[in-house]
């Protein structure tokens, strides 16, 4: 089973370097994924962009930037998600977190409380703003 472990803010050209690095978190700006996964991010996009949910949102094959023999994959977080989330003011995040916590990805998992979903959203929002502010991509580091 593949596990999303980190988000990286870097240039798209750095995807292979991130994927092959022995210590990518020492070399590139990153944040722990903290239990987020592509399905949860897809539901967040639907809320942040006021769009219908699509199970395929995070599955675009063109977003796979690197796939290594060791099972590491580097996948681009769609810029639509980054931009949609960056347009929400900080004071709007608790409302978005409440809607997000009510989605299937969180309802069936007892480790997620409304506070932990809000904290995850704040952290992810900060990483999105870092990427946008730096003019760089936001990438997911997935290992198996």
CATH number, domain with residue 36: 3.40.1760
* Residue in the block written with tokens 């399905």: 39
Q: Based on the structure, what is the number of domains in the chain?
A: 1
Residue 25 exposure: Cα atoms within 13 Å on the Cβ side: 9
What are the tokens at 97?
A: 């977190």
Res 1 pLDDT > 70: no
* pLDDT band of 4, cuts 50, 70, 90: confident
Mean pLDDT within 134-140: 97
Give kind and range of the element (H or E) at residue 24: helix 24-27
Q: Are 74 and 18 in contact (CB under 8 A)?
A: yes
pTM for this entry: 0.92
Question: How far apart are the C-alpha atoms of 97 and 62, rounded to whole Å?
Answer: 29
Res 130 pLDDT > 80: yes
**Residue 4 DSSP SS3:** strand
Res 110 pLDDT > 90: no
Res 129 pLDDT > 90: yes
Within 8 A by CB and 6+ apart from 2, the residues are 71, 73, 142, 143, 144
* Bridge partners (DSSP) listed for residue 10: 137
Provide the domain limits for residue 26.
3-143
pLDDT tens readout for residues 53-108 = 888 888 999 999 999 988 999 999 999 999 999 999 999 999 999 999 999 889 87
């Amino acid at each position: 089973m593949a596990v999303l472990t980190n988000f990286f803010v870097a240039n798209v050209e750095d995807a292979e370097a991130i994927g092959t690095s022995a210590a990518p978190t020492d070399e590139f700006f990153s944040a722990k994924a903290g239990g987020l996964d592509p399905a949860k991010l897809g539901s967040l996009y639907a809320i942040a962009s006021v769009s219908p949910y699509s199970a395929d949102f995070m599955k675009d094959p063109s977003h796979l930037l690197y796939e290594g023999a060791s099972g590491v994959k580097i996948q681009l977080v769609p810029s639509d998600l980054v931009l949609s989330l960056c347009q929400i003011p900080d004071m709007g995040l608790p409302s978005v977190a409440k809607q997000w916590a009510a989605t299937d990805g969180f309802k069936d998992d007892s480790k997620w409380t409304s506070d932990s979903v809000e904290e995850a959203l704040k952290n992810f929002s900060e990483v999105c703003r870092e990427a946008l502010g730096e003019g760089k991509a936001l990438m997911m580091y997935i290992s198996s």
